Structure 1
Amino acid sequence: MKADALARLPSVDRVLRWPPVAALAASHGRAPVLHVVRAALDACRAAATVPDDDALCDDIGRRVEADLAPSLRRVLNLTGTVLHTNLGRAPLPQEAIDAMVQVASGASNLEYDLATGKRGDRDSHVEKWLCRLTGAEAATVVNNNAAAVLLTLNSLGARRDCIVSRGELIEIGGAFRLPDIMARAGCRLREVGTTNRTHLRDYAEAIGPRTGLLLKAHTSNYRIEGFTAEADPVKLGALAAEHGLPYVVDLGSGTLTDLSRFGLPREPTPADTLREGASIVTFSGDKLLGGPQAGIIVGRADLVARIKKNPMKRALRCDKLTIAALGAVLRLYADPDRLAQRVPALRLLSRPAAEIEAQALRLLPAAAQWAGGRGRVDVVPVQSQIGSGSLPVDLLPSFALRIAPAGKRGGQALEALATALRSLPLPVIGRVADGALLLDLRCLDDEAGLLAALLPA
């Protein structure tokens, strides 16, 4: 029976001549359609089945669509985590998107000085604004903050002792550990203090002829409370200056503005940190700043110059799209009074709970219609989080559409609901909590998009 089935399968050439398949080849190209036809026929051979011509055409059409569809897609982030690493962190302002499109569509002066007609420096497109916004003497950018820390440590502390508090030997997502980065940078880790208490004298006693720098890592992804102590940053900077050592501060998800103006807890800014005596400050571009993925290095001009001369700088540099987007976002910070309206990350973080509740009530009928008999939908108050290691214990009041599955198979029903939402043409990503699927609406900018996904015309 298997041999008979295989004998009845059409040949590749015959399938390619079928009008629906020929139309696919004309639209998408012969090579990709040929690849799919062969795969579809191989699947038939493996299953020892011969579908009719129409069914095989439909299968080939679905396979072509799936094969050529981009794997990186837009989704609706209804998890309640605003800066969600797995979902791309900060959404970009329209100004940044426009700037990326402009330089992507043709040639640009990425490393060309229009005034002199000679080679330029790609950092020049963002350095002026970084210095203006932070008070730094100089600045440079690389592809993320881990790279910024790696490059800084390698440039300023290679083959020398790097002194850091034991309570700041952080690990962030993706198993990024500060001690591992220090080792890769060629620094010798010199831990001082204890997990919960480190004093200025601990740093002072550790300084010796082999010391290369003092490092302070902002513990943005966790918080130790209770019997704790840390060295005063101003005195730590003075100690480093007294011994002629660089004082490097990694702010992680640093922000360029005082977040308390948006009703959020205050975080140290690069400007604050430089005023307190830091020689170099590193921070991310795609977290609280609200820009593209980038690692930003600001500080003393002589130290930034050493960092830029490191051969690794070329391997870690940003491309033209990142430079364009970051420059556009930085220019928005020149107008601090309108930041919350123009920088999406700040807008989403500062959305009033009452506004989110009103949106949830508007969407409730559509969500209930989509769920049908699979679950009961209501509106509930929830707590959102900032995400990406930023202010980990500070939560934001929000509202969610709660879908409680019908029937006794709670776990399986929840997974089925979550899978159904992820399978929509515009995937919807929620979170499971307390036996229900929550669609936290804090990050929902596209209400019409969600409605169209739930109830397509």
Structure 2
Amino acid sequence: MSQLFRHLPSTDRLLSALEDDPLAPAVPRPLRKDLVTEYLDTLRAAIRDGLLTDPEELEPERLMAGLHALLRRKGGPRFTRVLNATGVVVHTNLGRSLLAPEAMEAVQQACQHYSNLEFDLSTGKRGSRYSHVEDILCRITGAEAALVVNNNAAAVLIVLDTLASGREAVVSRGELIEIGGSFRIPDVMARSGARLVEVGTTNRTHLHDYENAITEETGVLMKVHTSNFRVVGFTKEVTLSELVPLGRAHNLPVIEDLGSGNFFDFAHLGMGEETTVQRSVASGADVVSFSGDKVLGGPQAGIIVGRREIIEKIKRNPLNRALRIDKMTLAALEATMRLYLDIDEARLRVPTLAMITASAQELEAKAVQLAETLRNRLGKAAEVDTCPGASRVGGGAFPERDLPTTLVRIRPMGCSVDALKEALLATTPPLVGRIEDEHFALDPRTLAHEEFEPAAEALAQAIAQAGA
């Protein structure tokens, strides 16, 4: 054992070998040194446990393959690309919406060069960052004014803090939703300083429930779009069109949190009624808030539109400084909004819209092509076929609606489906799919054509690893 320990190369020797090795993964030197030390500690443990007994295995040339593998596994960025084959378009855990090429170009320009972020080119004086998107948001939604903060929870927070801090916010009990990560609307409301007043019941709320709750302490009447669930059966809800006149009669602002708001009317695609931002504004809501990075298909942002008088109050709230968006978000949002000026162009250019509205025929053709790519790469290592399946919009939108698709199913020969799924999390890039009917399934709705080959390579790596 002592002889084996003496054969271990030094840390400096391995570091020098990596410096001269063109195949070594690029890792910052301090981290590379830590990983070399970790690798040597692993070898020492293997010697002590009797798992490593041949001195020749400790020659630096023999150790490089294992060291490369460790550098790839632990030396790269923690935040990395993932291939999404789940069929969930707005996948919260996988980064939500993908940006359009125009938005990505705008972000690059904003990062690479100085800009007029808060500089008015017409006067040469300080300007407002919101001016770059306010006009276009108003044009699309029909609102008088607009403001953007860093996400929709922040939007709800600053709206309530401005209009109802220390006062009451009246909302239907059936709309007190919980969103991802255990964030609940009542908790956000409490942080704003507003006092929650629940009216109605879980399944039925009437206009008189709101009216009976109004007192001198009432600050706002609020609606929350139940985007991530549905209550069906014996139900009744108060529409925005009903609530607005009540607010006007009592001089109370009516606000609506749309959650995953959208500008595109999906009803004609057979996906059911889903409120658009334009419809909420037209119904007379004083303030409407919604996310930029869900069905809208833009960057993470909380967009607030509504009456100018109220939006100006929100802009002056000191919280606005803490919640404001940065130049990258601003650039991506403006580029995305410009696409929405032509809704037909947006449907083609905004990836989220394109994926949601892809036809069953398109997806069947993609599945056939993906299956052929996999068969050519995997050979006899797996059986590959296709079958009808269902995708989801995700992001809390259309929770009860399946989108028809064609799945590509893989049954590996040398390992279990569960082992394959786990091994795919360690490939470069990782591939995330789902298990259905004893198969590992890929949904082409959320895989771009250019991702077919990387997906096939990931599967080949994972099958070999899981079956080893």
Q: Same fold (TM over 0.5)?
A: yes
Is 1:259 the counterpart of 2:258? The answer is: no
Residue 400 and residue 42 in structure 1: after superposition, are their counterparts in 2 closer, same or farther (change >3 A)?
same
In the aligned structure 2, how far is the partner of 1:109 from the partner of 1:349?
A: 35
Residue 26 and residue 57 in structure 1: after superposition, are their counterparts in 2 closer, same or farther (change >3 A)?
closer
Q: CA deviation at 1:389?
A: 0.6
Aligned twin of 1:76: 83
User: Which moved further from structure 2: 24-33 or 357-366?
Assistant: 24-33
Aligned twin of 1:126: 133
Question: Quick one: which amino acid aligns to residue 256 of structure 2?
Answer: V
Is 1:236 the counterpart of 2:246? The answer is: no
Is 1:16 the counterpart of 2:19? The answer is: no
| TM-superposition CA deviations, 1:435-456 (whole Å, max 9, x none) | 32221111222x2431344159
Question: Which SS does the other structure have where 1:393 is aligned?
Answer: coil
In the aligned structure 1, how far is the partner of 2:15 from the partner of 2:431?
A: 37
In the aligned structure 2, how far is the partner of 1:426 from the partner of 1:296?
A: 33
In the aligned structure 2, how far is the partner of 1:23 from the partner of 1:455?
A: 24
8 Å Cα contact 2:8-2:59 kept in structure 1: no
Q: How many residues align?
A: 450
Residue 383 and residue 21 in structure 1: after superposition, are their counterparts in 2 closer, same or farther (change >3 A)?
same
Q: CA deviation at 1:36?
A: 2.6
In the aligned structure 1, how far is the partner of 2:269 from the partner of 2:135?
A: 26
Question: Which SS does the other structure have where 2:67 is aligned?
Answer: helix
Q: CA deviation at 1:263?
A: 4.9
Question: Quick one: which amino acid aligns to residue 263 of structure 2?
Answer: L
In the aligned structure 2, how far is the partner of 1:440 from the partner of 1:31?
A: 41
In the aligned structure 1, how far is the partner of 2:32 from the partner of 2:417?
A: 37
In the aligned structure 1, how far is the partner of 2:146 from the partner of 2:158?
A: 13
Aligned twin of 1:326: 333
In the aligned structure 2, how far is the partner of 1:30 from the partner of 1:362?
A: 43
Aligned twin of 2:465: none
Aligned identity (percent) is 47
Is 1:138 the counterpart of 2:138? The answer is: no
Is 1:305 the counterpart of 2:307? The answer is: no
Q: CA deviation at 1:113?
A: 1.2
Question: Quick one: which amino acid aligns to residue 456 of structure 2?
Answer: L
8 Å Cα contact 2:260-2:290 kept in structure 1: yes
In the aligned structure 1, how far is the partner of 2:331 from the partner of 2:184?
A: 30
8 Å Cα contact 1:21-1:57 kept in structure 2: no
8 Å Cα contact 2:373-2:452 kept in structure 1: no
Q: CA deviation at 1:361?
A: 1.8
In the aligned structure 1, how far is the partner of 2:9 from the partner of 2:209?
A: 79
Residue 438 and residue 314 in structure 1: after superposition, are their counterparts in 2 closer, same or farther (change >3 A)?
same
Question: Quick one: which amino acid aligns to residue 31 of structure 1?
Answer: P
Is 1:439 the counterpart of 2:442? The answer is: yes
Residue 65 and residue 417 in structure 1: after superposition, are their counterparts in 2 closer, same or farther (change >3 A)?
closer
Aligned twin of 2:224: 217
Aligned twin of 2:453: 451
Q: CA deviation at 1:22?
A: 4.4
| TM-superposition CA deviations, 1:16-63 (whole Å, max 9, x none) | 344x44457997554343333223223333444672221333333333
Gaps of 5+ in 2: 461-468
In the aligned structure 2, how far is the partner of 1:330 from the partner of 1:79?
A: 27
Q: CA deviation at 1:105?
A: 0.5
Is 1:91 the counterpart of 2:98? The answer is: yes
| TM-superposition CA deviations, 1:205-235 (whole Å, max 9, x none) | 0000111111100011111111111123222
In the aligned structure 1, how far is the partner of 2:392 from the partner of 2:323?
A: 30
Structure 1 residue aligned with 2:169, among 162, 170, 173?
162
8 Å Cα contact 1:217-1:250 kept in structure 2: yes
Residue 325 and residue 448 in structure 1: after superposition, are their counterparts in 2 closer, same or farther (change >3 A)?
closer
User: Which moved further from structure 2: 63-72 or 433-442?
Assistant: 63-72
| TM-superposition CA deviations, 1:137-156 (whole Å, max 9, x none) | 11111111111111111111
In the aligned structure 1, how far is the partner of 2:96 from the partner of 2:430?
A: 17
Residues 178-193 of structure 1: pairs in structure 2 closer than 5 A:
178-193=185-200
Question: Which SS does the other structure have where 1:296 is aligned?
Answer: strand
Question: Quick one: which amino acid aligns to residue 223 of structure 1?
Answer: R
Residue 35 and residue 342 in structure 1: after superposition, are their counterparts in 2 closer, same or farther (change >3 A)?
same
Residue 163 and residue 426 in structure 1: after superposition, are their counterparts in 2 closer, same or farther (change >3 A)?
same
User: Which moved further from structure 2: 323-332 or 242-251?
Assistant: 242-251
Is 1:425 the counterpart of 2:428? The answer is: yes
| TM-superposition CA deviations, 1:159-192 (whole Å, max 9, x none) | 1111000000001211111111111111111000
8 Å Cα contact 2:152-2:301 kept in structure 1: yes
Question: Which SS does the other structure have where 1:432 is aligned?
Answer: strand
In the aligned structure 2, how far is the partner of 1:362 from the partner of 1:41?
A: 45
Structure 2 residue aligned with 1:413, among 411, 416, 425?
416
Structure 1 residue aligned with 2:355, among 348, 361, 382?
348
Q: CA deviation at 1:345?
A: 1.0
Residue 402 and residue 58 in structure 1: after superposition, are their counterparts in 2 closer, same or farther (change >3 A)?
closer
Structure 1 residue aligned with 2:124, among 102, 117, 123?
117
Is 1:194 the counterpart of 2:201? The answer is: yes
Gaps of 5+ in 1: none
Structure 1 residue aligned with 2:364, among 350, 357, 361?
357
8 Å Cα contact 1:278-1:299 kept in structure 2: yes
Q: CA deviation at 1:391?
A: 0.9
Residue 420 and residue 197 in structure 1: after superposition, are their counterparts in 2 closer, same or farther (change >3 A)?
same
Question: Quick one: which amino acid aligns to residue 33 of structure 1?
Answer: R
Question: Quick one: which amino acid aligns to residue 450 of structure 1?
Answer: F
In the aligned structure 1, how far is the partner of 2:277 from the partner of 2:9?
A: 67
8 Å Cα contact 1:249-1:280 kept in structure 2: yes
In the aligned structure 2, how far is the partner of 1:383 from the partner of 1:27?
A: 40
Residue 386 and residue 119 in structure 1: after superposition, are their counterparts in 2 closer, same or farther (change >3 A)?
same
User: Which moved further from structure 2: 308-317 or 163-172?
Assistant: 308-317
Residue 452 and residue 388 in structure 1: after superposition, are their counterparts in 2 closer, same or farther (change >3 A)?
closer
Aligned twin of 2:43: 44
User: Which moved further from structure 2: 182-191 or 252-261?
Assistant: 252-261
Question: Quick one: which amino acid aligns to residue 107 of structure 1?
Answer: Y
Question: Quick one: which amino acid aligns to residue 128 of structure 2?
Answer: D
Aligned twin of 1:272: 279
Residue 21 and residue 211 in structure 1: after superposition, are their counterparts in 2 closer, same or farther (change >3 A)?
same
Q: Deviation above 6 Å: which 4+ runs of structure 1?
A: 24-27
User: Which moved further from structure 2: 252-261 or 209-218?
Assistant: 252-261
Residue 4 and residue 186 in structure 1: after superposition, are their counterparts in 2 closer, same or farther (change >3 A)?
farther
Residue 186 and residue 9 in structure 1: after superposition, are their counterparts in 2 closer, same or farther (change >3 A)?
same
